[in-house]
Structure 1
Amino acid sequence: MRRLLVQYGLAMTSVVLVAFLVPLGILARSLALERALDAGLRDAQSVAVFAGGAAQDEARLEATILSVNDDARRTTVFLPDATSMGEPATRSPAAEVAASGRALTARADGGVEVLLPVGSTAGLAVVRTFVPDSELTSGVRQSWLVLATVGAVLLAGTVLAGDRIARRLARSVTDLSDVAERLGAGELTARVAPSGPAEVASVGRVLNGLGARVAGLLADERELVADLSHRLRTPITALRLDVDLLTEPQERERMSGHVDELVRAVDAIVWTARHPRHDDASHGRCDAARVVRERARFWAVLAADQGRELRVEVPDGVLEVGVGAGELGVALDVLVDNVFSHTPDRVPFGLAVRTRPGVVEVVVEDDGPGFERPDAVDRGRSGAGSTGLGLDVARRTAEKAAGRLVLGASATGGARVVLELPA
């Protein structure tokens, strides 16, 4: 941006300089030409005073010619008897025209000749003053050098002034960009000191207000989620008491395990809300195969109750991925819950773990109707009447581990969700 502004200033200044300095240079050349021709005409007129006199004025004529001749201009008088006085010169066609009584200026080799006819008792004489090209352009080069120097100084001043202004403006815009990037990275305390032009300063104030607003909204959201433990404490306690009243030991133990998992899930949500910068997925690791087998056993009971066939394809061995077991388990739970929520009873589904070079794929697929919208992964766009938060949670889990969430269709045309995680 800074360079662009300086270049724009240089372009505008160059246009102005060309518009003014070039005509001035042409004017200087014209003035030099007119000055030289006027000097030549004056010499010719000085000699013409004596060129039309009597014979006894020849001495005065010759003296006058010697006085006007210098290193530049040279004067010659062509007398009526075809002789000449002064600087030897060839009688040109223009001199013949002047001999007919017409004064003129004509181009000659190496310069210009000023021709002035003079009448005398013996006939018509012609006074010729030769003005060389060096005198016609005398001072023009110096004028152009002065104009070029002025132009260079103006361009240098434009660069210095433009760079200073551009640096100030670019610094203001750069500060805005830096703060915007920090806000986008989650540093909600980042603020910018409004500076620069009024418009840029206004953007800075709006950006500060936006950061404060987002920080306030996220703080309210964290407090609301953190309050979840207090809101759920009473119903969970009541549920635990009801479980303890079960008479069958196995059923009581199974239900107690479910209640404990519920408590751990709520505690994890509350802890994450109170520690928003913690990134458990980026530091944790787990065996994806073991997590999928455990969650398959958990959901097998509900699948059997609804008459669903559960297909589990998990290879032997350890398949370590860069995400915590809790995070991966939650992502699988929300994906399987979507299957139960959005497909009819008795629709089969499957859990699988597959590998390819450098990647572990955790697959959840069903034989239902599939996705209605290609953007179902976005929050609030499931297309099935829900908020779509399940897919969003799974997507964020995959992205925290430098992976991705891929939606597609299963072999039977149903929904297929793949968590691609780096091995």
Structure 2
Amino acid sequence: MRRRLALLAVATASLVLIAFLVPLAVLVRALAAERATATATTWAQSVATAAALGDRDTLEATVRQAGGSSGMPITVFLPGNAFIGTPAPRGPGVELASRGRSVTVETPAGREVLVAVQGGTGGTVVVRAFVSAERLRQGVGWAWLVLGLIGLALLAVGIAVADRLARSLTRPVMQVAKTARRLAGGDLDARVEPAGPAEIREVGTALNRLAARIRELLAREREAVADLSHRLRTPVTVLRLEVDTMRDEDEAARVGQAVDSVERMVDQVIREARRSERDGASRCDATGVVGDRVAFWSALAEDQDRTVRLVLPDGPVTVGVSGPELAACVDLLLENVFAHTPDGTPFRVELTARAQGGARLVIADQGPGFAHPEPVARGASGGSSTGLGLDIARRTAEGSGGRLRARSLPEGGAEVVLELGPA
């Protein structure tokens, strides 16, 4: 925008200067020619006065004086073929002036000023003062140079003024764009200092109101989610009381672990809902989290005669996801295996470190595969589930700088690859 405004100012200033300077340059050239012609006419008339006296000696002295003072060739054509002064051809202009008419004639070499002197005994005397083309243009070059410099100076001033004007317009617009980018990045405290023209100030004020409204709506949504999640504590408490009344200790322990897991997830949902911004950079040890969650699900896998193959790195692998988030993500993926494959279907969980940082988690089973052609799409499900599990895992991966891929294997079964970015 700034460049376009500057170009517009240059184009406008150039047109104005051309419309002003070109006629002025032509006028300067015409004035120089008229000035030289007027000087030649003055000297020719002074010589014509001497010619009217009829004294040849006086006429010759006047011609010599006029030619030396004016720097112009002056010739006096006498009746017949005689002349006094600078030799010159007797052209058509001289013939016309010899009939008693004073004229000014343009020639390829310059301009002739011809003054007719009548009343002599022998006929009409013609005084010729010649102005060369260089004399007609004398001083024009310097005048044009000055005009050109003035035009360039005016153009530079116009560009400077246009640049300042464009800057006063573009700077507030850039501030609005910067604030919009910060809002898009999640910084809901970003605000615009309204500046510039009234229209741009109005845009900045509207953006501030929009940011405040977004913050208010998000706060309401967080509180609503937190309230709904808090209501889940009542049925969880009831389940815990039921576990305490169970007589089979092994069964009670296993159900109690499940209730503890549900309670942890409810607490995590409440914390996440009430947290407007992340408390520092999220990170955790993926090896420990994945190993812990697979161990939790191994009890159910043993009851369903499922073979679990777990491959973990020898050391910790740090990823850019919090421990509860990664645990919930792994639970969702393993729950899909148990929910959408028959009992006895083996599955594999493999965690490896990525060369560029982060980790790569692969969960594959030997079941029927995905029924939906795009299983990662939100709400896509070939069974009775909501179809949100893989989408939640995808958003978790992308939030860390990674990605999620899911596909049906050619040999049968399903494979989910969760790539997590570094902390």
2:373 alignment counterpart: 372
Against the structure 1 CA distance between its residues 325 and 44, is the aligned structure 2 distance closer, same or farther, given a 3 Å change threshold? same
Q: Does the 8 Å CA contact 1:101/1:124 hold for their aligned counterparts? A: no
Q: Give the Cα separation in 2 of the matches to 1:30 and 1:409.
A: 91
Q: Which residue of 2 aligns with 1:13?
A: 13
2:362 aligned partner: 363
- Residue 422 of structure 1 deviates from its aligned partner by 4.7
Alignment of 1:231-310 (within 5 A): 231-279=231-279, 282-288=281-287, 290-300=288-298
The SS at the match of 2:130 is strand
Q: Could you say what the CA RMSD is over the residues aligned between the two structures, in angstroms?
A: 3.5
What are the residue-to-residue correspondences of 1:297-376 with 2, within 5 Å? 297-300=295-298, 312-315=309-312, 317-322=314-319, 323-339=321-337, 343=340, 345=342, 350-359=348-357, 360-366=359-365, 367-369=368-370, 371-373=372-374, 376=376
Where does structure 2 lack aligned partners over 5 or more consecutive residues?
A: 98-102
Partner deviation per Cα, 1:308-331 (whole Å, 9 max, x = no partner): x56534145224122343222111
Are the aligned partners of 2:233 and 2:266 in contact in 1 as well (CA < 8 Å)? no
Relative distance call for 1:387 and 1:14 in structure 2 (3 A) is farther
The one-letter amino acid of 2:216's match is G
Measure how far apart 1:144 and its partner are. Answer: 2.5
Question: Which letter maps to 1:96?
Answer: G
Equivalent residues of 2:369, 2:413 under 8 A apart: yes
> Quick one: which amino acid aligns to residue 317 of structure 2?
E
The alpha-carbon distance between structure 1 residues 67 and 224, as it changes in their structure 2 partners (threshold 3 A), is same
Q: Is the 8 A contact 1:310 1:348 kept in 2?
A: yes
Structure 2 distance, partners of 1:197, 1:414, is 63
Question: Are the aligned partners of 1:334 and 1:390 in contact in 2 as well (CA < 8 Å)?
Answer: yes
Q: Which residue of structure 1 lines up, in the alignment, with residue 217 of structure 2? A: 217
When normalised by structure 2's length, the TM-score is 0.81
Paired residues of 2:350 and 2:362 also in contact (CA < 8 A): yes
Distance 1:84 1:221 in 2: 113
Determine if the alignment matches structure 1 residue 391 to structure 2 residue 413: no
Deviation at 1:179, TM superposition (A): 1.8
**Structure 1 contact 293–314 (Cα < 8 Å) conserved:** no
From the superposition, tell whether residues 143 and 313 of structure 1 become closer, same or farther in structure 2 (CA, over 3 Å). same
CA 1:332–1:112 in structure 2 vs 1: closer, same or farther (change >3 Å)?
same
Aligned-residue offset at 1:392: 4.0
Task: Kindly provide the CA deviation profile for residues 138-160 of structure 1, in whole angstroms up to 9, marking residues without a partner as x.
Answer: 34244324433432442343234
SS of match in other structure, 1:326: helix
Aligned CA distance change for structure 1 residues 394 and 82 (closer, same or farther; 3 Å): same
* Residues 331 and 121 of structure 1, relative CA distance in 2, 3 Å threshold: farther
CA deviation after TM superposition for structure 1 residue 13, in Å: 1.4
For 1:219 and 1:183, the matched residues in 2 are separated by 15
> Is residue 98–residue 117 contact of structure 1 (8 Å, CA) maintained in 2?
no
Bigger CA drift: 41-50 or 319-328? 41-50
CA drift at 1:354? 3.7
* TM-score with structure 1 setting the length: 0.81
Change (3 A) 1:47 1:310: farther
Deviation at 1:214, TM superposition (A): 0.9
Matches within 5 A, 1:129-140: 129-140=129-140
- Tell me how far apart the structure 1 counterparts of residues 200 and 167 of structure 2 sit (CA, whole Å): 14
| Structure 1 unaligned spans of 5+ | none
Q: What secondary structure sits across from 1:369 in the alignment?
A: coil
How far did 1:218 drift?
Answer: 0.8
Is residue 158 of structure 1 aligned with residue 155 of structure 2? no
Contact 2:48 2:127 in 1 (8 A): yes
**How far apart, in 2, do the equivalents of 1:382 and 1:37 lie?**
97
Once residues 32 and 299 of structure 1 are traced to their aligned partners in structure 2, the CA distance between those partners, rounded to angstroms, is 105
Q: Give the corresponding residue for 1:207.
A: 207
Q: Structure 1's 22 and 245: CA in aligned 2 closer, same or farther, altered over 3 A?
A: same
Give me the whole-angstrom Cα distance separating, in 1, the residues matched to 2:354 and 2:188. Answer: 39
SS in 1 for 2:232: helix
Cα distance in 2 for residues equivalent to 1:62 and 1:386: 126
Contact kept in structure 2, 1:99 and 1:125, CA below 8 Å: no
Paired position in structure 2 for 1:58? 56
Aligned counterparts of 2:248 and 2:334: Cα–Cα separation in 1: 28
Alpha carbons 1:403, 1:422 under 8 Å: kept = yes
Number of the residue aligned with 1:35: 35
One-letter code of the match for 2:400? A
**Which SS does the other structure have where 1:85 is aligned?**
strand
Moved more, 252-261 or 39-48: 39-48
- What residue is the counterpart of 1:128 in the other structure? 128
Is the contact between residue 118 and residue 125 of structure 1 (CA under 8 Å) also seen in structure 2? yes
Q: Which amino acid aligns with 2:283?
A: G
8 Å CA contact 1:9, 1:159 repeated in 2: yes
Change in 2 beyond 3 A, CA 1:413/1:357: same
2:96 aligns with 101
The range that moved more, 401-410 or 228-237, is 401-410
Shift in Å, 1:25: 1.3
Q: Distance in 2 between matches of 1:5 and 1:68?
A: 60
State whether residues 369 and 408 of structure 2, in contact with CA within 8 Å, keep that contact through their aligned partners in structure 1: no
| AA at the equivalent of 1:296 | V
Which residue in 1 is equivalent to 2:100? none
Deviates more, 1:208-217 or 1:116-125: 116-125
Identity %: 42
- Distance in 1 (alpha carbons) for counterparts of 2:134 and 2:216: 82
Q: Does residue 228 of structure 1 match 2:228? A: yes
What CA distance in whole angstroms lies between the structure 1 residues aligned with 2:199 and 2:65?
74
Deviation at 1:306, TM superposition (A): 7.3
Aligned residues: 409
Structure 1 match to 2:72 = 73
